[in-house]
Structure 1
Amino acid sequence: MASPAPTPRPGDQLAAATGTTRVIVIRAPEGGAGAIECGGVPMVPARQAPAAPAAGEAPGALIGKRYVDAADTLELLCTASGAGPLTYGGQPLTVKAPKALPASD
């Protein structure tokens, strides 16, 4: 199995080692100390991901959604849905709330 990316950087494309989830790192903390995981397994660079997807599981990460950590220092964009929750440093990531648009009045 391929080793996980040591430090996430903006632009990195990661894939779940055991499923179909794929993400792009939008924002990463300086000197990232934690591992980005999907379903409890560290994510790997997308080019090293296994070809066999896990079938028949409910999606844990949804395509097109942005996920952030509690401190809002890490942001991921999900480019392919898959099973298992996304975590960073053992803490779950949440869906980022959309920005409110200004009133047109």
Structure 2
Amino acid sequence: MSTPLRAGEQLASADCTVRVVVVRAPADGEAVLACGGSPMVPATGGRPSTAGITGLVTLIGKRYVNESDTLEVLCTSPGVGELSYDGVPLTVKAAKALPASD
């Protein structure tokens, strides 16, 4: 059984260099946040080196959300693994359009 996600929690991939910070967590929070198919674990230690890695899938500085927009994570270290929540891939959060100033 997984532990509920909490806003501010830092997680790392068990398989690659991806690290994220949970920005918004769902109220139920019982589904698993995974990267590359493996559940993410609490981040410990220093930041992994991404030098020489090509074909990045998860990009630094991007926010990723689930379909229902109840989970939002911020990528703090890029990598080749794809983020998913409850087996469904997360998507990059679209930027909000600014209001027109006429």
Query: TM-score, normalised on structure 1?
Result: 0.86
Q: For residue 91 of structure 1, what is the amino acid of its counterpart?
A: V
- Determine if contact 2:11/2:20 at 8 Å carries over to the other structure: yes
Structure 2 vs 1, CA of residues 100 and 52 (structure 1 numbering), >3 Å: closer, same or farther? closer
- Once superposed, which parts of structure 1, at least 4 consecutive aligned residues long, lie more than 2 Å away? none
- Determine if contact 1:14/1:23 at 8 Å carries over to the other structure: yes
- Determine if contact 1:5/1:44 at 8 Å carries over to the other structure: no
- Determine if contact 1:5/1:45 at 8 Å carries over to the other structure: no
Matching residue of 1:45: 42
Matching residue of 1:33: 30
Write the deviation string for residues 5-37 of structure 1: whole angstroms up to 9, x where unpaired: 611110000011111101000001112121100
Matching residue of 1:8: 5
Matching residue of 2:16: 19
Distance (whole Å) between structure 1 residues aligned to residue 67 and residue 84 of structure 2: 11
Q: Which structure 2 segments of 5+ residues have no match?
A: none
- Percent identity between the two aligned chains: 54
SS at 2:44 equivalent? helix
Query: TM-score, normalised on structure 2?
Result: 0.88
Q: For residue 73 of structure 1, what is the amino acid of its counterpart?
A: T
Paired residues in the alignment total 101
Q: Which structure 1 segments of 5+ residues have no match?
A: none
